[in-house]
Amino acid sequence: MPRARSAGLKAHLVEAADDLMDTIGPGSVTTRQIARHAAVSDGVLYNHFGDRGELVVAALVRRYSRLVEAFEARLAEADEEGEGTERPLGPWLHDFALALRDLEAGALHLAAGIIAERRLLEAFWIEMHRAPLGLDRLRRPLLDRLRIARAAGLAAGDLDIEAAANLVFGASLMSAITLRVNAHADRARIDRELAAAVDLVAGTLTGISAGGGMA
């Protein structure tokens, strides 16, 4: 089979598995169901994937990639609506933390679908953190923005930007976990709690509140 055709069929199988996850779920979908949805014979799947788990992980990674792209699009949109790198750090941190929280909540939802299959969960975790995805891609916009603030004198010259980024990531992750664990959680309250945590970080870094005034 020509390489281009083989690659196209592999992508088609991943797309078929991705489609089925909306109705069946990653932990329950079978190779036969995927094959039928893709309109191929069962054996074709094994020409491209070692087993069902490998295909399910590929489909989950496809979904996670969309979450990352949506996260980056939200940051770009926020920069366009604001003033780019001239925008005050506090409001930018708010937008970043909310976008990150929603990405993390989405990733937790994907992982929950295979929580009973440790091997798949571990494989998904590895792929999430492999380039071109990975934690560095998520942290880079925040680290770059903190470096700009430090260089412009808007933050202390000895600011540990890695530590500051960890605080923002930690607050966002806790917010994401709260949303996923409690299906009836008050989202507005959770948003306010995340905003308060980000305000605290922004105030500590710059002495300026998220609203732009002196803390």
Domain with residue 74: its CATH number is 1.10.357
73 and 34 share one domain: no
Residues 6+ apart with CB under 8 A from 186: none
Residues 6+ apart with CB under 8 A from 209: 90, 199, 202, 203, 215
149 and 65 share one domain: yes
Q: Give residue-wise pLDDT tens across range 50-69.
A: 999 999 999 999 999 999 99
146 and 176 share one domain: yes
Q: Based on the number of CB atoms within 10 Å of its own CB, is 93 exposed (0-12), middle (13-18) or buried (19 or more)?
A: buried
Higher pLDDT, 44 or 194: 194
Residue 213: inside a domain: no
175 with 193: CB under 8 angstroms? yes
Q: How far apart are CA 127 and CA 123, in angstroms?
A: 6
116 and 137 share one domain: yes
pTM: 0.87
Q: Give residue-wise pLDDT tens across range 74-127.
A: 999 988 766 666 678 889 999 999 999 999 999 999 999 999 999 999 999 999
Q: Smallest Cα–Cα separation from 95: which of 152, 162, 186, 172?
A: 172
Residue 183: inside a domain: yes
**Angle at CA 89, nearest 5°, toward 147 and 70?**
90
Identify the pLDDT of residue 83.
63
36 and 120 share one domain: no
180 with 109: CB under 8 angstroms? yes
Identify the pLDDT of residue 209.
36
Given a cut of 50, whether residue 174 has pLDDT beyond it is: yes
Residues 6+ apart with CB under 8 A from 57: 120, 123, 124, 127
115 and 192 share one domain: yes
Residue type, 201: V
